[in-house]
Structure 1
Amino acid sequence: MMVFESATTPKASTSVSGSSAPPETQRSSSGSRHSRSKKMIIRRRSSRGIGTGSIMSLKPTTSQSTLSSSPSECHLESTHETGPSQSLRGKKLIQILSEEAGGTARQIEDESFYHGFMSDDECKSLLTNAGDFLIRRTEIEGEMQYVVTVLPENSKEITNFVIRKTRSKHLYYVYKYAFKTISDLIAYHKRMKKPLNVENVCIVRGIGRSDWQLAHEQIERNRKLGEGAFGEVWEGTLNLGVFRGSIPVAVKILHSANISKDERIKFLREANVMLKLNHPNIIKFYGVATLKDPIMIVMELASGGSLLARVQNTKRPPTEMDKIRYCAEASSGLAYLETVQIIHRDIAARNCLLSADDEIKLSDFGLSLLGINYRERSMKNVPVRWLSPETLKHGYFSSKTDVWSFGITIWEIYSGGQEPYAEVEDNKELRRGVIDQRLKICSPFGMPPMMQQIMFSCLAYDPENRPTFRELNAKLSAIRSNTISHIKFSSKIKGLFGF
């Protein structure tokens, strides 16, 4: 084992950088002879800076090391199972060789307990027993760092330990021991039950990745479909393995350059919401790839494009039956969200996709939240033309504000995909007009009375007077069934009389 001093003392949830300059060494002539294996002790001078100070050297005794003030020396001594003492302002590191550490993976991505980029909230749900741990990436002071996240004994809160790297030898360490790889670091601390700090926090069980946590190598990008402020959308292929083959998918890719920690979390919020969902009218979620950059979200490919593009198609416009079906299928997916208490917050024709069979698939859960209601303090970059009066006035969001947005979506379907309130260009004026009830949506030309009634019930000014999605779905499903029956009856009549 190689023992050397580090210029800094790492602490949980901090991001102080690694060790000091390379040590000066000399061999002591007073090394004792033992039949046990030897170890090299290298003592370094400390460097000035935050959390640094003078480093005290060690002299071994029969049972433990004691502190002295020798500034820099190197000598051989017999190996005893006593680690170096740690001063309050500096520390010494013991290098553990790979063959002694017991790690098996060269790359951290190969370890099952490595989860890539992950937020604290996600970690809390995974670590349930004392000693449970995982490795993740997170941004600390503008730099991506590897972190050991542990649930300590007798605690309900997770603790984070930044994995630092020495400057001279590029060794990884958390507390007393330094290693060539992170895999070695984890294997040694787990096997030898070595604590990660002075509070004796130990790692016991590594929490493995789930099936939906994908490797980048599983994803193949084929054709770019679009690009937004934070990323791109691609048509691609997901490799599920030798026996399951591959499937066509849509891949959302986060731009890796100049992206903050908060923006990464917002991007992955969509995946966190979709992970909880399972409904035929909601786009299917396959997984995320967060082990390295760029971060990707992989989901079902809706090859029919957006509902907005479909209703804007004048060469092949949707039939009356199509329009009713679109509304009924969308309300079915939204009724499901209502039961699992998820507020979508961005319901619009552009965010309803179509499968190859022309079936509605609700998508774009980037703004979605789990809960019954929510108040947004900042109303920047919100879809103003689809928002309810109480949202525009107070920032309130609920299932009933989603109902309002659905009413606007019905209007889009029957207007041929026009922009709501197109006559008002200024969003501030639009906001005041909706709040003051000076601006109201009118029914599009040719809209059936029964659909007008449903649309206007969604656009009731008082949210308490709006129907639930369960009620809307029941009404729209009944209208759809009646329309199908009417079409079949009309076809029979035409057949009988030869029309």
Structure 2
Amino acid sequence: MTEAEKSVNATFIEAKAQVLNKAYWYHGLMPRDEISDLLKHDGDFLVRRSELGLNQKLVISMRWSRVRHMFIKVTPEARFNITDLLNFENVERLICFYMGSKAEIFRDGAKLMRPIKRPEWCLFHENIKLNKKVGSGSFGDVYIGKLTDKDKKLDVAVKMLKGKLGKKERSGFVKEASLNRRFNHPNIVRLLGIAAQQDPIMVVLELASGGSLKGYLQKNPDASVERLNKFLLDAAKGLTYLSSLNVTHRDIAARNCLLAEDLTVKISDFGLSIAEAQVKEKKLSKVPTKWLAPETLGQGVFSTKTDVYTYGVMMWEVYTYCKADPYSKITNLEARQAIQAGKTLEIPTITPLFACKIMEDCWKKDPDARPTFGQIAERFEAAMKLN
């Protein structure tokens, strides 16, 4: 297919996808590794769109002994088929025929039996209005916007996938949102839904109107130590919840903590997070070196206990009001060498004694000697009750 033909085909598929948006079994641009959990029984199926730009296809994804995928072909006459013997005016008629006739679509007897409805968290672009751009993340830009939901208009944050990103980056963007979908805790930013019916993919989150913890501290260098303690307690509670789900955040920092209107801390930015208690990476790339634990820098290990170490670095940020990044006077390489040698940051002078001990415990070289997030939260609560 020439580039011109690809362009025509992409425009045609885009137009047909717009029509398909209302079909409850159409899941849009959802990556294939994100739909497997929806297909639970033989005969379960859905339709989605694959790729972006000039290489677009409509795909039937189904389960029959395993999850499998079949392209819906488009003829030069703009008709649809999965076999050259039967052409259809549109995708809806194709699906209705194979469901109604119980005709096989694979030689082993696989049939389209149960269309899988889009989950409630699948949103329509037409219900999302973007207002002000407020930042950028690893996969996309962040906006303040409004979501229309059942006659209600909600103020929300919207992460929009940046243009010209490949399949891998798009999958990572949706993976972050899919992980976030599992969370339900007052100290975790809540995901409201994903709009993946068309390009660009959007992730809609609850709006934390207080901005980032880092920004707040830089603007409020006179915030009381009691306020700082409460920030860190909130974060520890959110991280206790994540660790109970065996989720490793991998990027704990003041910049990734957001504040609600009442200044409750909410953990955000799950772009590097994984749904595993421990993982080992062969190569570290795009990582916040100066926040990382010695075993992460040395062996590529990420775990709940490396998150604890990083939380200790965030404590340092909070008690310094984020005036500078950790190890700001040395390079990443020098910081890496220092951390691996067991050196730690100098504890800020305003840090309460109980918090000094927590920080020191978070930075212990032996991961097993570090406290859990639950223990950290308990120690903060106990000390704050005494004051």
| Secondary structure, counterpart of 2:130 in structure 1 | strand
- 1:253 pairs with 128, 146, 160, which one? 160
Percentage of pairs with the same residue: 36
Partner of 2:12: none
8 Å contact kept, 1:135–1:146? yes
Partner of 1:174: 82
One-letter amino acid matched to 1:277:
F
Q: After TM superposition, where is structure 1 displaced by more than 4 Å over at least 4 residues in a row?
A: none
- Partner Cα distance (1:348, 1:443) in 2: 16
1:171 Cα offset (Å): 1.1
Structure 1 position 421 matched with structure 2 position 330: no
Task: Map 1:25-64; keep pairs closer than 5 Å.
Answer: none
8 Å contact kept, 1:149–1:160? yes
Partner of 1:183: 92
| Secondary structure, counterpart of 2:234 in structure 1 | helix
| Secondary structure, counterpart of 1:445 in structure 2 | coil
One-letter amino acid matched to 2:51:
E
1:170 Cα offset (Å): 1.3
One-letter amino acid matched to 2:46:
L
| Secondary structure, counterpart of 1:163 in structure 2 | strand
Structure 1 position 119 matched with structure 2 position 31: yes
CA RMSD between the two structures: 1.7
1:350 Cα offset (Å): 0.2
Are the structure 2 counterparts of residues 280 and 370 from structure 1 closer, same or farther at C-alpha, using a change threshold of 3 Å? same
Partner of 2:113: 204
Structure 1 position 221 matched with structure 2 position 125: no
Partner of 1:443: 347
Are the structure 2 counterparts of residues 148 and 217 from structure 1 closer, same or farther at C-alpha, using a change threshold of 3 Å? same
Q: Report Cα offsets for 1:367-389 as digits up to 9, x if no partner.
A: 11111110112211101111100
- Partner Cα distance (2:34, 2:326) in 1: 38
8 Å contact kept, 1:113–1:206? yes
8 Å contact kept, 1:392–1:435? yes
- 2:263 pairs with 348, 358, 381, which one? 358
8 Å contact kept, 1:189–1:202? yes
1:141 Cα offset (Å): 11
- 2:57 pairs with 145, 154, 157, which one? 145
One-letter amino acid matched to 2:47:
I
- Partner Cα distance (2:198, 2:53) in 1: 19
1:190 Cα offset (Å): 0.8
- Partner Cα distance (2:385, 2:94) in 1: 64
Give the helix-richer structure, 1 or 2.
Answer: 2
1:452 Cα offset (Å): 0.7
Runs (5+) with no aligned partner, structure 2: 1-5, 7-16
One-letter amino acid matched to 1:474:
E
1:106 Cα offset (Å): 8.3
Runs (5+) with no aligned partner, structure 1: 1-16, 18-104, 484-499
Partner of 1:40: none
Considering Cα pairs closer than 8 Å and 6+ residues apart, tell me whether 1 or 2 has the greater RCO.
Answer: 2
- 1:478 pairs with 362, 368, 382, which one? 382
- Partner Cα distance (2:282, 2:168) in 1: 16
Partner of 2:244: 339
Partner of 2:190: 284
1:423 Cα offset (Å): 1.7
- Partner Cα distance (1:306, 1:321) in 2: 18
| Secondary structure, counterpart of 1:115 in structure 2 | coil
| Secondary structure, counterpart of 1:161 in structure 2 | strand
- 2:169 pairs with 263, 277, 280, which one? 263
- 1:380 pairs with 285, 307, 310, which one? 285
Structure having the higher Rg: 1
1:351 Cα offset (Å): 0.3
Structure 1 position 298 matched with structure 2 position 200: no
- Partner Cα distance (2:149, 2:263) in 1: 26
Partner of 1:463: 367
1:229 Cα offset (Å): 5.3
1:199 Cα offset (Å): 3.0
Are the structure 2 counterparts of residues 423 and 229 from structure 1 closer, same or farther at C-alpha, using a change threshold of 3 Å? same
1:394 Cα offset (Å): 0.8
Q: Report Cα offsets for 1:158-178 as digits up to 9, x if no partner.
A: 1100111112x0111112321
1:310 Cα offset (Å): 1.3
Partner of 1:397: 302
Partner of 2:9: none
Task: Map 1:76-95; keep pairs closer than 5 Å.
Answer: none
8 Å contact kept, 2:31–2:174? no
8 Å contact kept, 2:311–2:362? yes
1:445 Cα offset (Å): 2.1
